[in-house]
Structure 1
C-alpha cells in the first residue's frame, strides 16, 4: 500500500470525488442555457419538456425523444448540449420544419426499462390528448431510450391502446445488446470497498438489461443476466416490436464490417501509482482462458486475475464507441497524487453498441456476426423497416448531420 495515504484516506478521497460513471456525451458542464420549454409535463417516474415548433403556440406535430442510460435523473441541459450544440442542431432543425419536441426524461435513468416505459406511455397519451389535428406521432429515443420507447409502443399495441404513432425511430440503440469490457466491470466490483458507485451502475437494473454479458462480482462468470432474459421474454410475448408504425434506426458504426482498430489482447489500462500498481486491463481476446484483467487496489501483490472463455473480440467491433477505459483513467488521475492512483489508458475507447445491434441485423455473440458486411446483407435481414449507418465508427449517440439529418427526413415523410 502507498506509504503516503491509508486505505481510509483513499476511501474518503473516492467518496469526495465525482463518481466513476460510464456514459456517453460531453465531458464538461454545459456552456449554454437551453431555452425555456413551452410546457412541462410531470409523468409517473419522469418529466417531459415540451417545445412547440417555431411560430406555434400549441402542439400539432409531436416528436417524442427519449433520454438514454445513465445514473440519476435526466438533465435537460445535458440533452441540449449533446443533441443540439454540436455538429448538427437536431432540435432546431425539427422545430424549424414545424415539429414539436417532447424531450422525455426519467427520475432514475438506471431503473428497469419497463418502469421508465410507463413514463413513455404517459407522454404518448398526453401528446395524443393535447395535439390539435390528427398528425401522427414520431416516437423514439437515443441509446436505451430507443428500447424504452420500443417497449412502450409494443406494450400499448398488445393492450390495444391507440398510440397514434406513425414512425418509431432509434439512435444507436442496443437492440441486440451492448458491451462493457469485462475488465472494466470486474474493476468496478473489485473497487467497491473504496467506493460502490461504479459497481452500483454496472449492477443497476437497466445495465443488467442492456449488457449482452454482465458480471455481478469481480470473480463471477460473465452471463446474460436474468433481468435481460426477463425483459427480452416480455418483449417477445407482446410481439417484440410495434407493428403499426414504420420502424427505422441509425448506428454510429459502419456497415462495412471494418473494426475500430483495437487489437485483441492489447493493453487498455495500466495502473502506475503505488496504490493501483499491478492493475492491468486488456482488450477482449477470443478463445478459452483469456486474461482480461489483473486487479490490485491497496492490498499487497499479487494481483487477482480475471479470465474469460469463448467470447468474441468485441472491443474492436464496428459500432458506436464509449470511452470506458479513458473515463476510468481520467477519474483516477483526477485524484491527488498522494493517493497513488495514477493510471494510463493506452486504449481509451471500445465498441459499446455494435453496428449489427443498432440496426437489428445480427447478434453480438460471434465475430462472424459482429464483423459482418451489413451492406452485403439482404434488407429484410434487419427487423427495422429502414436504417442508416455512419461512414466511420464514432462515439455512441454522437449527433451528426449524416445520421440526424436522415432521421429528420424520415420524420418529414410523415407529412
Structure 2
C-alpha cells in the first residue's frame, strides 16, 4: 500500500461486499438499456438552432507530419472579418486560428461557432461577432478525430498555420493562434514544433481558453465506473464512455488516469502516452517562445482561490438496481491513505472497491467545471443532489499555466492567482473568471478581457 509522500495511486479490491454495507437507500432501477454514450465532455451552450454565419470558405487539411504512423486530418471554417465600411474582406487580412477542444469523434464547427458566439452579459454581446466586426478573420479549426494524439492533431494545426500565411494578403497582420480546452494544447504544441524546426509561424499572439496546460481532472472513480459498466449490452452502437477515457487524447490530457476497473497503480504516470507527451513538449521547448510572441490565456475558474461546492469525501449517490447492480460513489478525498471512492457490483461482473492515496481534493478545486457526476447519475437514473452535479475539470492553476511539476502536482490548488509575482506563469498575461464557471463557457469577464487584448 501507499505511504505518505508516495505517488498518487488507486488500489482496487475484488472482495465481495453486502448490500448492508454503505449508506443510502435504493434509488431507481437500471434503465433499459443502460445509457452508454460518451458523457464527460463539455456541453456546447450556444443556440445551435440559430442561423450562424456560414464560412466564406472551408479548408480540408492534412497533418504536416505523421505521429506514430498516423497522419491526422481536419477542417477549417474561414469567416472573413469586416473592413472599416462593414464590408467583408475578400481574403485573409488579420487571421485568427482557433482550435476545437476535447471530445470524441469529429468536430462540429457549426456548433463550435454557436458556442463561442453565444450571447453574454446583459446586452447580449457575442465574442466572435465582435471579433469579425473589428476586422479579425476567424478561422475555426476542427479535427476528424478529436480523441486522437495531441501531436497528430497539432500537425493539422501546423498545416492550418501554413495555409493562413500563404493565403494572407500582402501587408496583412501577423497571426493570432490558439484554442479552447485541448485546442489550446494542440496549437501550443504546433507553434513550439514550428519554432523547433526553425520555421517562422508569423504569429503575434498565442491564446488559450481554459486549456489544461498542466492537466485536467476526471475523478478516477468515474473512470472506473465507465470501464466497469462497459460490458453492459447497448444496442445503439454509439461510442461508450470508456472509449473516450481510453482514448489517446484523454490519456495525454488527464493528470490522473486509469486503464481499467481492475488494476492498481500510480495514476499520474500510468499512461505512457502522457509521459511521452510531456517529454515531447519539453523536447520542442515546452511553450512557443519566438521574440515578439505574446502568450495569453483565460481560465473559467476563479483566480482568488475560491473553491467549488464539492467537499472532499462526500457521498454523491448510492444507486441500486435491486439484485442486479449497485454503485456507491464518493467525491475525491483530500490526500490520505486508502480512501474509498467507489464500490461497484453487478451480476456476472462481480465486485470492485477502489481506494485512493495521496490524491488532492480536485473535485472542489477552483477551476472550470464539468457536470461529470450529474451526467453519470442521469445515465444511471440515480438521485443526486444539485450541489454534487458539477466539479472541477480544469483547475485554475493548470489553465493559467502556473509553473509547477505536471506529474507530481506539487501545487496549492487554492493559490491566489490574481496577484501573482511576475514569472510564476508560463503565460505573459492571463485572466480568471469571477466565479467557477462551466469549462469553455464564454462569460462576460473572459470575453471582454480577450477583446481588449486582441483588438484594444
State whether TM-score is above 0.5: yes
Secondary structure of 1:236 counterpart? helix
Equivalent in the alignment of 1:219: 262
1:107 equivalenced with 2:144 (yes/no): yes
Counterpart of 1:197 (choices 234, 240, 249) is: 240
Counterpart of 1:374 (choices 409, 417, 426) is: 417
Equivalent in the alignment of 1:46: 74
Q: What is the correspondence of 1:8-27 to structure 2 with a 5 Å cutoff?
A: 13-14=33-34, 19-26=37-44
Between the aligned partners of 1:28 and 1:405, the Cα distance in structure 2 is: 18
Paired residues of 1:312 and 1:367 also in contact (CA < 8 A)? no
Equivalent in the alignment of 2:429: 386
1:349 equivalenced with 2:383 (yes/no): no
Distance change >3 Å, CA 381–CA 275, structure 1 → 2: farther
Q: What is the deviation of 1:400?
A: 1.2
Distance change >3 Å, CA 256–CA 29, structure 1 → 2: closer
Q: What is the correspondence of 1:323-338 to structure 2 with a 5 Å cutoff?
A: 323-332=371-380
Equivalent in the alignment of 2:4: none
Equivalent in the alignment of 2:191: 153
> Residues 332-364 of structure 1: CA distance to partner in whole angstroms, max 9, x if unpaired?
3xxxxxxxxx31233111111000000011447
Q: TM-score, normalised by structure 2?
A: 0.82
Secondary structure of 1:253 counterpart? strand
Counterpart of 1:62 (choices 78, 95, 99) is: 95
Secondary structure of 1:388 counterpart? strand
Between the aligned partners of 2:323 and 2:226, the Cα distance in structure 1 is: 16
Paired residues of 1:21 and 1:71 also in contact (CA < 8 A)? no
Counterpart of 2:49 (choices 31, 36, 57) is: 31
Counterpart of 2:310 (choices 262, 273, 281) is: 262
Paired residues of 2:261 and 2:352 also in contact (CA < 8 A)? no
1:297 equivalenced with 2:354 (yes/no): no
> What's the C-alpha RMSD, in Å, of the aligned pairs?
2.1
Secondary structure of 1:380 counterpart? coil
Between the aligned partners of 2:439 and 2:221, the Cα distance in structure 1 is: 20
Counterpart of 1:206 (choices 225, 249, 257) is: 249
Secondary structure of 2:363 counterpart? coil
Secondary structure of 1:192 counterpart? helix
Q: What is the correspondence of 1:59-98 to structure 2 with a 5 Å cutoff?
A: 59-87=92-120, 88-98=125-135
Q: What is the deviation of 1:277?
A: 4.8
Q: Could you tell which deviates more after superposition, 246-255 or 78-87? A: 78-87
Secondary structure of 2:355 counterpart? strand
Q: Could you tell which deviates more after superposition, 281-290 or 271-280? A: 271-280
Between the aligned partners of 2:135 and 2:349, the Cα distance in structure 1 is: 63
Counterpart of 1:136 (choices 150, 174, 192) is: 174
- Asked which structure has the greater RCO (Cα within 8 Å, sep 6+), the reply is 2
Equivalent in the alignment of 1:309: 357
Equivalent in the alignment of 1:404: 447
Secondary structure of 1:64 counterpart? strand
Q: Could you tell which deviates more after superposition, 398-407 or 245-254? A: 398-407
Paired residues of 1:362 and 1:370 also in contact (CA < 8 A)? no
Distance change >3 Å, CA 100–CA 275, structure 1 → 2: farther
Between the aligned partners of 2:449 and 2:91, the Cα distance in structure 1 is: 26
Equivalent in the alignment of 1:165: 203
Paired residues of 1:175 and 1:360 also in contact (CA < 8 A)? yes
Equivalent in the alignment of 1:339: none
Between the aligned partners of 1:300 and 1:403, the Cα distance in structure 2 is: 46
Equivalent in the alignment of 1:337: none
Q: What is the deviation of 1:166?
A: 0.3
Secondary structure of 2:364 counterpart? coil
> Residues 215-269 of structure 1: CA distance to partner in whole angstroms, max 9, x if unpaired?
1011332232211111111111111111121100110111111210211011123
Paired residues of 1:284 and 1:313 also in contact (CA < 8 A)? yes
